[in-house]
Amino acid sequence: MIIVLMVMQYLLKTAPRALEIYNTCIFFPYQFFRTFLFKFIPFSIGDILYAAAILSLLILIVRWLYLLIRVRKYKHAILDSVLYTLIIFSSVYIYFLIAWGANYYKPALSSFWHLAKPKSRTEDSMAIVSFDKYLVDKLNTYAPHYHSIPFDETNLKSLDYYKVYTDYRNKLQGLKVKRSLFGRLIQHLEIEGYYNPFTGESQINEHLPAFIMPFVVCHEMAHQAGIAAEGDANLLAYAIGTSANDSSFNYSCYLNIWFYTQSRLNRRNHMLAKQLESQLNALTKAQIDTLEQIRKQYVSEFSKYSSDLYDNYLRLHQQKEGIHSYGNVAASAWAWEERKKKMPDSLITIP
């Protein structure tokens, strides 16, 4: 199994043709099959599997503690249990790579779209300031036209926008987001949504404010479309949501990306960031206050532990900046806007 894993990872890193074959012959057909299989089930099968896995892990830990207490009598049983556990984890990880994880080895979406990169830190800072001003202007423009959309309607609209504005319709359809069974729990963990690589399902925290929902749904669908990197999923969600002729989707995507851009600008020039934030309209300011109140209500030590765990997971899977890779969208989204000026009506391509 170790040899199989090493060969798979070597091929994915060094052979673009292998990744292309994986996309065409394995991932897209399998994602379509899984979505077709589970889409008529209103709840998440993946959440049930996660719950069963956590329960099994707890039982395993209790069993190991019992065997360790009687280590002289059960020495061989402990060794057998450890070996079987390693085999199971290796098998699960191989399935993870085959089912979806190989997408982590795709080139960055900014490279695939040939987006211009800042040549220096000064140029990058100037781009962040320009983009922040641009987003503030867009939020002020779209705020009067914003209206909340129910989750089911958001789901259907997001799928339609993927069909209309991207080339994903030429592949196999496999996009649908479900409500998470762990809504209140993931609220404490500060999780808005997540993709299950084992069942191909995307889940979302249905308790999210409506003005956040369209962007998050598009983000989770990006994972179903084969985009693994979080910054790239943010970028694709932004590109689709701002291309749609839908003021609520436009507003939600501009707002979500503004959070990342504002955070990056705030670290570099706090006074300028505050000055630009003060120019926001009353609705956006009220929504920012709403999110702050939610964060204060649900903040806990568990969210810090889960963030650290997820950070390590991302670093293990080709994302060197870990959880901070989400914020990379601040630079790539501005480059996307610059590209749109030259090709305003071009179809959004998904690798």
Kindly report, residue by residue over 64-107, the tens digit of the pLDDT.
898 888 877 888 888 888 899 999 999 999 999 999 999 999 98
Among the listed residues 171, 170, 165, 347, the one whose alpha carbon sits nearest the alpha carbon of residue 241: 165
Rounded mean pLDDT of the chain? 87
Given this model, what pLDDT does residue 1 score?
85
The DSSP line for 266-312 is HHH-HHHHHHHHTTS-HHHHHHHHHHHHHHHHH--HHHHHHHHHHHH
158 is written with which tokens? 């997001």
Question: What average pLDDT score do residues 268-278 get?
Answer: 92
Helix 329-342 × helix 121-142 angle, to 10°: 70
Kindly report, residue by residue over 160-193, the tens digit of the pLDDT.
999 999 987 656 577 899 999 987 788 877 788 9
How many residues does this entry show for the chain?
Answer: 351
Asked if 113 and 240 touch (Cβ cutoff 8 Å), the reply is no
Asked if 332 and 115 touch (Cβ cutoff 8 Å), the reply is yes
What residues form DSSP beta bridges with 179? 204
**Domain spans, the chain:** 2-104, 108-342
Complete edge-to-edge strand list for the sheet that includes strand 201-204: 177-179, 201-204, 193-196
Asked if 174 and 34 touch (Cβ cutoff 8 Å), the reply is yes
Cβ-proximal residues to 115 (8 Å cutoff; 6+ apart), any chain: 332, 335, 336, 338, 339
Strand positions, DSSP E, the chain: 177-179, 193-196, 201-204
pLDDT value at 306 more than 80 = no
Question: What average pLDDT score do residues 55-62 get?
Answer: 93
Question: What average pLDDT score do residues 206-222 get?
Answer: 94
Give the span between the Cα atoms of 106 and 351, in whole angstroms.
8
Kindly report, residue by residue over 110-150, the tens digit of the pLDDT.
999 999 887 777 778 888 899 999 999 999 999 999 999 99
Backbone angles phi, psi at 116, to 5 degrees: -70, 140
Strand pairing class (201-204; 193-196)? antiparallel
Given this model, what pLDDT does residue 113 score?
93
Give the span between the Cα atoms of 253 and 272, in whole angstroms.
22
Give the span between the Cα atoms of 221 and 223, in whole angstroms.
5
Given this model, what pLDDT does residue 312 score?
56
Give the N- to C-terminal CA distance of the chain in Å, as an integer.
Answer: 29
pLDDT band at 305, cuts 50/70/90? low
Quick check: helix, strand or coil at residue 202? Answer: strand
Give the span between the Cα atoms of 167 and 173, in whole angstroms.
11
Instruction: Report which of residues 281 and 267 the model is more confident about.
Output: 281
DSSP-assigned letter for residue 166: B
Asked if 237 and 219 touch (Cβ cutoff 8 Å), the reply is yes
